[in-house]
Amino acid sequence: MNAVLTRWNQLPGKDAETEILPCCGSTAWAASISNRRPLANETELLTASDEVWNSLGESDWLQAFRSHPRIGEPVARAGPAQSASWPAQEQRTAADANEAVKLALAEGNREYERRFHHIFIVCATSKTAPEILAILHNRLHNDASAELREAAAQQRLITQIRLKKWLSP
């Protein structure tokens, strides 16, 4: 069994919730995952994560979205050192983009938030800043319901990546 998972399985409930929370940002998700312990391996953890995420409601999803910095903006996040660096790693290409792309992302973020009332969530890992900008522009054509589902699907992917990072300190 993974050493991180073994240690986490033995933590008191609230400590386990606090430790895993940065992987998703939803307190309901963290509590539900913690309540499913012990989890024997990465596959069980990832499966449980998906099951819990898909069972949550809109307010839990929105809470998770709020735990993210806006795409293209500087990352200033408190929390465990390991997880505090994740958003910067995930958005590295957006942060390194040229000024024109950064400005377009900032304007796109503002338009997105006016339209959907939450920040733009995309699994930015391995995507260039122009790719992220194109995704943002395409998703502005969604209706609110479809966009909420798409944002939730992107959050699920981000959580999966972060869980794998969490298991490999």
- The pLDDT tens digits of the residues spanning 17-28 come to 999 999 999 999
Across the chain, mean pLDDT equals 90
Task: Please give the C-alpha separations between residue 19 and each of 2, 32, 33, 77, in angstroms, as whole numbers.
Answer: 16, 13, 11, 15
**Amino acid 78: pLDDT:** 46
pLDDT, tens digit, for every residue of 132-156?
A: 999 999 999 999 999 999 999 999 9
**Amino acid 88: pLDDT:** 54
**Amino acid 73: pLDDT:** 73
Provide the annotated active-site residues. Answer: 68
**Amino acid 71: pLDDT:** 85
**Amino acid 21: pLDDT:** 97
Distance CA 116, CA 145 (A): 9
Residue range 52-59: average pLDDT?
98
Residue range 58-74: average pLDDT?
90
pLDDT, tens digit, for every residue of 78-129?
A: 445 455 566 656 555 665 678 999 999 999 999 999 999 999 999 999 899 9
pTM: 0.88
DSSP string covering 96-121, please? TS-HHHHHHHHHHHHHHHHHHSS---
